[in-house]
Structure 1
């Protein structure tokens, strides 16, 4: 029996040991599982991105800056405003020159070259380069007889000056050639107006000579300034004119003007209309409106009509020609002091006669002389007349 109790005691102690071991094992298992969860949670926490941490750290706030474009120069602004591929902004440079650029049209004669003034000096023209200006080179001198040429729609022209003494010392004389009608007959026309008809072959030879010899072709405003002593003109200048705008002028002579591009002036009797626009190298100026007829005494109407009638006629003529009032040609060359006064009162600056001679400093602007071109005058005759 005692043995039985001992055996039972041993069994109870063994069960208690097993229970204690199981309890300890359970505690260890719980601890292990809890540790695993803790470690896993820590790993998850470390591997899960923090939304706040993913945002970039804000720096100083700055607005986007748009570069300020460079302002256009006055010449560039002219071109931008014109929006014309043929526009050319002409700028001016030289001593005492402070002139804003002007807009010209490429391929057409200059229309807006100014004539500046300077105390104690005489303006000597605009030139293609500074070297041309210093040398007063005629081939490099530019005016309304030259076509505008530009590089990238811009160009600069250079001023030249000279002393009054040098201008006076040049003793320049400017011939104004006067033509009338033209003929294709080498032997000329017959009748009392035979002398008026220049042979077209001679006309072409004259133009070719003037072009090849690089004569300077003054504009009418330049001639006026020259007479006043404000502008130097070289003693290698010539002005070419034709009276009446006769059909032979339009049909035979003008095409050769266009070919040689030598500036001329056509004095138009505007009662017949303004005439066609055939080339920019022909300026149309007044030969009066309706005074190219004889008056009561057989002389021209301009020396017969009243002052007010003359003024009204000339104003009408200017209107037909678009307002040009630089110069007129007296019909038949007839004029007197009353006619000169009426011309001035009508707003015209100059008037051309048929009297022989050359224009010099101080010439009467309302009595400009001419070199008359008659039938049969050759190039040699023109050389003698104009140099």
Structure 2
């Protein structure tokens, strides 16, 4: 049987398994090894959907972690069940934390060697991010179940990172308001067009929690993943953006200025700024995750114009972060522990701000520096892709690709 016929037969079997949804298997396990008697798909939950990532192969012996049935697969581990069922991702981080990644362009095998007598040891679905440990000739090396595997470069593309889009305010016709020529205010029609593009191109919006799990090597991720964020908590993001996002089943994060968070928003006026209140947050939490943009540090010094996060002391910043978390946590019935992601005002931080973020339980913090997020990035200096009125759809596509 040639390689093409072999691939067709295995992928056909995988397709049947995916449709069936339940997989019976007979598994041999020791303290160190697991061997499957059926080829089994591996799934990951992304934005509340089960996504097929790839498969472990029948007859292949995989190394199990620490005497368990956890097998290294990509950016995390999968747990093998002895009594049948799917192979699901666990929350355990991969032991070999490779930071360079590729994205698959099609379904493909991971092979056990590069020579012509190679045999498949695992399968990857198309549009999957997968960490690589190196490159030899035209082959990328990867880790699967403690073994070295190989993927040919023709089947993949280099990964430029996950785009974290940044928005602020939007209006239907900003040119007819005091916000004319404001670089932070886009047209609603442009936002609609951008979300249409994400949907048409097959992007999945992921949550901050999913991004964090990926960066901590606890989660496998699709190639077309995007994070959507809004800074400041302008009510226009409820009035205009929320219905669009909800229609498409998308998720987004709101970084709120805690000092602007009152019971309800002031009446709508397109020539002034109004902010989301507790009432609005309560009815939009199915789409929005509400996080920290400081309580009262979204200010600059009157002389010199430096941001407060660069001039205030560690204690002042720490107390501000804590107070903001407590206030925003009221959205979650007082659970301030859920408020653990931060966007620095104007994207500008300082050593004392970063330390305060760490010490107050923040686990990721975002700047406004242009770029995409990659494995190995400093979690307290994460980049974003700002979207402004001047950006064309070509610019938007480049931001998603990490080439802007």
Report the CA distance shift for 1:384/1:167 in structure 2 as closer, same or farther (over 3 A): farther
Match of 2:113?
none
2:254 matched to 1:276?
no
Question: Are 2:350 and 1:336 equivalent residues in the alignment?
Answer: yes
TM-score w.r.t. length of structure 2: 0.56
Q: Does the aligned pair in 2 maintain the 1:120–1:163 contact within 8 Å?
A: no
* Matched residue, 2:368: 354
Instruction: Give 3-state SS (helix, strand or coil) of 1:299's partner.
Output: coil
Per the alignment, residue 210 of structure 1 pairs with 198
The structural deviation recorded for 1:180 is: 0.6
Check if 1:200 corresponds to 2:188.
Answer: yes
Mark the CA change 1:276 to 1:228 in structure 2 (over 3 Å): closer, same or farther.
closer
**Higher alpha-carbon Rg:** 1
2:397 counterpart of 1:374: no
Which residue is 1:301 aligned to? Answer: 308
2:270 is matched with none
* Counterpart Cα distance in 2 of 1:308 and 1:242: 27
Structure 1: which 5+ residue stretches go unaligned? Answer: 1-87, 101-112, 125-130, 142-159
Q: Deviations over 1:140-189 (max 9, x none)?
A: x9xxxxxxxxxxxxxxxxxx986645698843411111111001017475
Q: Indicate the residue corresponding to 1:54 in structure 2.
A: none
CA drift at 1:194: 1.3
In the alignment, the residues of structure 1 paired with residue 352 and residue 364 of structure 2 have an alpha-carbon distance, to the nearest angstrom, of 15
Q: How has the CA–CA distance of structure 1 residues 219 and 247 changed in structure 2, closer, same or farther, with 3 Å as cutoff? A: closer
TM, length-normalised to structure 1? 0.58
- Count of matched residue positions in the alignment of Structure 1 and Structure 2: 262
Cα-Cα RMSD? 3.7
How do 1:256-267 and structure 2 match up within 5 A? Answer: 256-267=244-255
Distance (whole Å) between structure 2 residues aligned to residue 377 and residue 189 of structure 1:
20
2:239 match: 251
What SS does the aligned partner of 2:194 have? helix
- Superposition pairs of residues 151-190 of structure 1, within 5 angstroms: 164-165=133-134, 170-185=158-173, 187=175, 189-190=177-178
Q: Is the 8 A contact 1:122 1:231 kept in 2?
A: no
Measured in 2, the distance between the counterparts of 1:376 and 1:193 equals 10
Instruction: Map Cα deviations across residues 67-89 of structure 1 (whole Å, 9 max, x no partner).
Output: xxxxxxxxxxxxxxxxxxxxx9x
State whether residues 241 and 266 of structure 1, in contact with CA within 8 Å, keep that contact through their aligned partners in structure 2: yes
Structure-2 change in CA distance of 1:316 and 1:114 (3 Å)? farther
SS for the counterpart of 1:115 is strand
Distance in 2, Cα, partners of 1:227 & 1:188 = 43
2: CA distance between counterparts of 1:135 and 1:356?
31
> Does structure 1 residue 115 correspond to structure 2 residue 121?
no
Deviations along 1:289-343, one digit per CA (max 9) or x if unpaired, are 1211223642222222221121121112222323224320011222111211111
Instruction: Give the match for residue 65 of structure 1.
Output: none
Range with greater deviation from structure 2 (218-227 or 175-184): 218-227
> What SS does the aligned partner of 2:255 have?
strand
- Tell me how far 1:366 sits from its aligned partner: 1.0
Which of residues 297, 322, 332 in structure 2 aligns to 1:315?
A: 322
Q: Deviations over 1:47-78 (max 9, x none)?
A: xxxxxxxxxxxxxxxxxxxxxxxxxxxxxxxx
The one-character-per-residue Cα deviations of 1:260-281 (angstroms, maximum 9, x if unpaired) are: 1211111111222255222412
Question: Compared with structure 1, are the counterparts of its residues 167 and 240 closer, same or farther at alpha carbon in structure 2 (3 Å cutoff)?
Answer: farther
Rate the CA distance shift 1:195–1:162 in 2: closer, same or farther, 3 A.
closer
- Residue 225 of structure 2: SS of its match in structure 1? coil
Mapped to 1, the partners of 2:141 and 2:200 lie a distance apart of 26
Structure 2 unaligned regions, length at least 5: 1-47, 57-69, 72-77, 82-88, 102-107, 109-121, 135-139, 143-156, 262-277, 330-334
Q: Is the 8 A contact 2:160 2:372 kept in 1?
A: no
- Higher strand content, 1 or 2: 2
Q: Secondary structure at the match of 1:283?
A: strand
- Does residue 229 of structure 2 align to residue 241 of structure 1? yes
